[in-house]
Amino acid sequence: MKRSNCLIEVCEDFDSFSKRIKTSFIEGNNSKMFRNTIWYRSLLDAEKSCLKEDKLKKIHYKFQDDKEMVEEYNVDTQVLLRRAWKVKGKLGGEGKWDVEIGDPIPDATPHIEGIGADFMESKDQPILTRRNTRINLEWRIRNLPYPIETYSVSANNDERCIVIRTTNKKYFKRLQVPELDRLNLPIEQANIQCSHSFNTLIIAYKKPQQLLDMDKEWYLELNKVKPIKDIPNDCKTQ
């Protein structure tokens, strides 16, 4: 009987070991699912050039559909600081850069008093900016003076956005999360955290593991792009 018990224990240990191996294999494959997305493949296929300025690494992408994108990384932290898309100008003009992540690019157009001045955006209006950290996606909305309990922030997967409401009905906003859309990932309510200070509402979304893995792998991929010496005019203005 003792020998039989030993055989049973060995079989159970082997089954447990096999399950652990299978589970780790599945989890490993799932963590690399981003490689199968259109977004990741388009990044690989894009023409890329690299510039280094002090602690910044700037990458210019030209995609197969002729779209252009610029990214800026902090060399020390390897965190993406800015992502901007080139918007074609009217009648073949130079166009501007639409910022997806990071502070807005200062507008070089001078302020004109008089006609049209009344249509300028008020400085007291809420101002939204996107930030990116190592572990979170962040939105900062300035000029919101209401206390934290005023805000309701919820995930809406039907409309693929994060919805902000206030109990006093004075502010409403839908926040797009393109990073999750590109990887076909759901918006999880449990990953949303909010804070409020100095009239600024801060919404942080914890990055899912697939996005963390892609961030890490893509930065290593960008190390293969050798920096160039001459700085194009487009990149100097970023």
What would the pLDDT profile of 147-158 be if each residue is shown by its tens digit?
Answer: 999 999 999 999
Question: How much is the pLDDT for 168?
Answer: 97
Which tokens belong to 92? 């073949």
Higher pLDDT, 119 or 97: 97
Question: How much is the pLDDT for 115?
Answer: 45
Q: What confidence tens digit (pLDDT) does each residue in 127-150 have?
A: 999 999 999 999 999 999 999 999
Q: How far is CA 105 from the centre of its chain?
A: 18
Please, which residues have CB within 8 angstroms of residue 87's CB and are 6 or more apart in sequence? 95, 96, 97, 98
The mean pLDDT value for 222-236 works out to: 72
Nearest to 177 by CA among 196, 153, 201: 153
21 occurs within a structural domain: no
Q: What range defines the domain where residue 94 resides?
A: 34-103+208-238
* 111: confidence class by pLDDT, cuts 50, 70, 90: very low
Q: What confidence tens digit (pLDDT) does each residue in 165-177 have?
A: 999 999 999 999 9
What percentage of the chain exceeds 90 in pLDDT? 68
Distances (CA, A) of 175 to 62, 107, 139, 157: 26, 23, 8, 12
Residue 82 near residue 53 (C-beta atoms within 8 A): no
The CATH number that applies at residue 184 is 2.60.40.790
183 occurs within a structural domain: yes
166 occurs within a structural domain: yes
Question: How much is the pLDDT for 90?
Answer: 72
Question: How much is the pLDDT for 215?
Answer: 97
Number of structural domains the chain divides into: 2
Nearest to 219 by CA among 142, 92, 134, 158: 134
Tell whether 171 and 226 lie within a shared domain: no
Tell whether 222 and 191 lie within a shared domain: no
Nearest to 130 by CA among 172, 185, 83: 83
Tell whether 75 and 193 lie within a shared domain: no
Tell whether 140 and 200 lie within a shared domain: yes
Tell whether 185 and 219 lie within a shared domain: no
The mean pLDDT value for 114-135 works out to: 76
Question: How much is the pLDDT for 32?
Answer: 87
Angle at 69 between CA 65 and CA 73, to 5 degrees: 150
Look at residue 182 and tell me whether its pLDDT is greater than 80: yes
Compute the mean pLDDT over every residue in the chain, rounded to the nearest whole number: 84
Question: How much is the pLDDT for 26?
Answer: 40
Question: How much is the pLDDT for 88?
Answer: 82
234 occurs within a structural domain: yes
DSSP codes of every residue in 57-110: EEEEEE-TTS-EEEEEEETTT--EEEEEEEEPPGGG---EEEEEEBSPPPP-SP
H helix and E strand count, the chain:
5, 12
Tell whether 215 and 187 lie within a shared domain: no
220 occurs within a structural domain: yes
Q: What is the DSSP letter of 143?
A: S
Determine if the pTM surpasses 0.85: no
4 occurs within a structural domain: no
233 occurs within a structural domain: yes
Residue 144 near residue 208 (C-beta atoms within 8 A): no
Least trusted range by pLDDT, from 29-38, 74-83, 111-120, 228-237: 111-120
Q: How far is CA 27 from the centre of its chain?
A: 23
Q: What confidence tens digit (pLDDT) does each residue in 34-80 have?
A: 999 999 999 999 999 999 998 999 999 999 999 999 999 999 999 99
Nearest to 207 by CA among 110, 116, 113, 133: 133
Residue 60 near residue 234 (C-beta atoms within 8 A): yes
108 occurs within a structural domain: no
Tell whether 46 and 91 lie within a shared domain: yes
* 20: confidence class by pLDDT, cuts 50, 70, 90: low
